[in-house]
Amino acid sequence: MTLTKIPFTKMHGLGNNYIYLNCLEASPENPEDLAIKVSDRNFGIGSDGLVLIMGSEQADFRMRMFNSDGSEAQMCGNAVRCVAKYLYEKNLTKLTSIKLETKAGIKILNLKLKNNLVTEVSVDMGAPILKSKLIPVASEEPQLTNYPIEFFGEQFKVNAVSMGNPHLVIFVPEITDRLVLQLGPKIEHHPLFPERINVEFAKIINRQTIAMRVWERGSGETQACGTGACAVAVASALNNLSDRQVTIKLLGGDLDINWQENDHVIMTGPAEFVCDGEFYY
């Protein structure tokens, strides 16, 4: 069997790490299988998934992303910031405002530079989706905001929000391993969510600060989730638990989220290179 040598870059946004491939000229076959192999932290490179950077007919560039279980995701806030840094610092563009096509639509990435390096990226994540059928949630309720529901014998008030991918936000007095690591995967696969769901457990610190941990659909607990942070900010504002501009504190660091009056959510945070390398596939 002949193996192909593929160059890669590993990057992270607040610890949410992916393998990035330059696919502007050619894309690998079967990226679903490739994502599983490179993500394996014992037998692969180790990551939360795989990101393909591609050309686009609708925008400046296109991104496809795959979770560590091989499933394709619509969107990842941390990954799009890394794509912006990758494109600029690897001299694939000199644009400081990049239009990026994703499965959740075209996102605008605005780069903050210092000494010609990208220090921060602000992303216009668009407007949140709150209608149950569009998230999707298999419920007759048109919208789940502070909605009481029982999961596996426990009562919670939940908030369903899509930021191009589905999220369920649950505000709790304390965020525990039991909630995230035991209840999180059960909720992800609950029949109420036909496309599975990302689950955020959030604790209000004050009106400008919220702590959260996330169980990500297809990847398990990660250090950060950009779309999840946006969903938490939207849910907290809807419930009058916080202002519309907040800092979300994740395991990997902080994201600044601003739910603007025009209904668009702006996410601002860092992106970092880890290493370049080659693997055989």
CA distance 107 to 279: 30
69 burial level (CB within 10 Å; 0-12, 13-18, 19+): middle
CA distance 188 to 167: 9
CA distance 164 to 106: 11
Helix and strand totals (H; E) in the chain: 5, 18
N-term to C-term CA, the chain:
10
- The answer to whether 37 and 54 are in contact (CB under 8 A) is no
Residue with tokens 């600029």: 88
Residue of 93, 67, 63, 58 lying closest to 81 (CA atoms): 63
- The answer to whether 100 and 83 are in contact (CB under 8 A) is yes
Name the residues annotated as catalytic. 76, 225
Q: What DSSP state is assigned to residue 132?
A: G
CA distance 281 to 279: 7
- Helix ranges (DSSP H) in 90-225: 177, 184-188
CA distance 83 to 62: 10
Compute the residue count for the chain.
281
